[in-house]
Structure 1
Amino acid sequence: MIHIAHDDPSRPDVDQLLSEHLADMFATSPAGSVHALDHAALSGPLITFWTAREDGELLGCGALKLLDSPHSTAKHGEIKSMRTTASARGRGVATLVLTHILDEARSRNYGRIFLETGTEEYFAPARRLYTRNGFTECPPFAGYALDPNSVFMELRL
């Protein structure tokens, strides 16, 4: 059974997965268009980080970043660092992590969830995942700028 729980982004197996994620982002997108976070940034106070594991084996991860002040009445979030291991791809792990993040955002009464992903073919599976789960394209948010290498998406909760 796959279990999703809060985790430490600096944990060795997670750090390795995040390092692979960053390497892939820089290999597929121009440096100025890479918005992925490393384990130190994912440990920030406005970010909640989860991993998916089965019998202790890391299968994937994802994070939710609060975009507004914690004291704001209207809260919005951003999905960060969605990634599955190569061996877990095609098993529905990304959908489980995404569903967990969205359920958490709803429980926190967030109004909208945003994300940024790439336009390259490499990111097509991610775009399909988000579209299947109700995300639609939107303008840049939270300080992002228009970028031909980025797709911005939102989901109203």
Structure 2
Amino acid sequence: MVSIAIENPDQPDIVALLRAADDWYATLYPAESNHLLDVSTLQQPGIAFFVARDDGELLGFGAVADRGDYAEIKRMYLAPAARGRKLGRRILQALERHAAQGGQDCCRLETGIHQPEAIGLYRSAGYQDVGPFGSYGPDPLSLFMEKRL
């Protein structure tokens, strides 16, 4: 039975999967196009870090950050062995619920153009393309999206 719950990202298995995600992103994009939050940032107030587990085994994670007038989806990643089980959609739904319960009516995200599965997930979940937001600048390797909750 898969559970999705808020956890502290500073756990050995999570840190290892965050590193694996960082390594994977580094194969797709140059450093200036990777907008990754580290463990200490993921622990700050206003950021909820959700983890998917199956009988204790880490499957993936995602974070949602309160940015004032919107929520930002960050660090969505599934372990390669966990892909194809619709877990990304379940994590995304948990992040959106958390944002809505916190009073947000809009979620935004940045993803890379070389991630067709992620882009497909976001579009099928109702996210639409928008321009750069927050501290992001234009980047031909980035896609910016938002969804009204």
Q: TM-score with structure 2 length normalisation?
A: 0.97
Query: Does residue 143 in structure 1 map to residue 135 in structure 2?
Result: yes
> After superposition, what is the alpha-carbon deviation per residue over 1:27-81, rounded to whole angstroms, capped at 9, x for unaligned?
110111100112122111121101011111111100001111xxxxxx3110000
Aligned ranges 1:3-14 → 2 under 5 Å: 3-14=3-14
2: CA distance, partners of 1:50 / 1:37: 14
2: CA distance, partners of 1:56 / 1:80: 23
Aligned ranges 1:1-157 → 2 under 5 Å: 1-68=1-68, 75-120=69-114, 123-157=115-149
Cα offset for 1:111?
1.8
Aligned length: 149
CA contact (8 A) 1:22 1:37 kept: no
Q: Which runs of 5+ in 1 are unaligned?
A: 69-74
CA contact (8 A) 2:66 2:99 kept: no
1: CA distance, partners of 2:60 / 2:46: 20
Aligned partner of 2:14: which letter?
V
> After superposition, what is the alpha-carbon deviation per residue over 1:92-139, rounded to whole angstroms, capped at 9, x for unaligned?
11111001111111112202100000012xx10000000000000001
Tell me what 1:72 maps to.
none
CA contact (8 A) 1:25 1:36 kept: no
Percent identical = 38
Q: Which runs of 4+ in 1 moved over 4 A?
A: none
1: CA distance, partners of 2:27 / 2:80: 17
Cα offset for 1:24?
1.2
Cα offset for 1:146?
0.5
Aligned partner of 2:75: which letter?
S
2: CA distance, partners of 1:91 / 1:154: 24
